[in-house]
Amino acid sequence: VMTHSDDEGLVLPPKLAPIQVVAVPIYKTEEEFQRIEEKFMALGKELKAKGIRFKFDGDDNKRPGWKFNEYEVKGVPIRLAMGPRDLENGLVELARRDTKEKSSISFESASATVEQLLLDIQSNLLERSKLHRAHNTFEVDTYEEFKQRIDEGGFFLAHWDGTEATEELVKNETKATIRCIPFTEHPVPGKCMVTGQPSAQRVIFAKAY
């Protein structure tokens, strides 16, 4: 959750999201509401048959803009909206939470479009997080370099001699701790950046924020 979210709120991967698709009607009259509700409920039935977690928000006490903000904060992957003009033109507005992109799509193909888009969002978030990790992971070989760079943030791959004493010393002096011992089929041995003692492989140090 912390990896994907932004200043506007949560950005949930579709596989984890309690609500994957939310539909918000935009209307002025009761007749408009009923016609839009009928369309969205039919779409919701199709999506639920595919195992997609769908919600229609027909709460008349909240304005559409308020609902848009609420579901953005909650991290719902896809938001659909339909007004009278969309209804007449056979369209529905679709908004992605991960990229904040909006588009108008054909209502007839909405079920297939949403199904594919959820897969795309899941993949995009995974690739984006991998890229972020790669750009923020650094190798350091000396303790001096480590101490100079640790406050820059990120993850630091460094050799450690495997002792609690060395781990505690690093923590006390830099506030950084070992976050992970990477699983690798071919670990590369070296020398501990602090003590110079043998190290089986690099581990990941980072500070908590």
Domain ranges of the chain: 21-133, 137-207
pLDDT of residue 3: 74
Domain at 21-133: CATH architecture: 3-Layer(aba) Sandwich (3.40)
pLDDT of residue 19: 99
Strand 54-56 with 78-82, pairing: unpaired
Report the b/e string of 54-70 with b at 16+ CB within 10 A. Answer: bbbbbeeeeeeeebeeb
Alpha helices for 27-109 (secondary structure H): 30-49, 64-74, 84-89
Bridge-partner residues for 135, per DSSP?
none
- Identity at 170, one-letter amino acid code: V
Report the b/e string of 114-150 with b at 16+ CB within 10 A. Answer: beebbeebbebbeeeeeeeeeeeeeebeebeebeeeb
36-77 pLDDT, tens per residue? 999 999 999 999 999 999 999 999 999 999 999 999 999 999
- CATH number listed for the domain at residues 137-207: 3.30.110.30
104-123 pLDDT, tens per residue? 999 999 999 999 999 999 99
* pTM of the predicted structure, to 2 decimals: 0.81
pLDDT of residue 2: 67
Residues near 149 by beta carbon (within 8 Å), at least 6 away in sequence? 138, 140, 156
pLDDT of residue 7: 86
Q: CA 124, 129, 135, 139 torsion: positive or negative?
A: negative
What are the residue ranges in the chain where pLDDT is below 50?
A: none
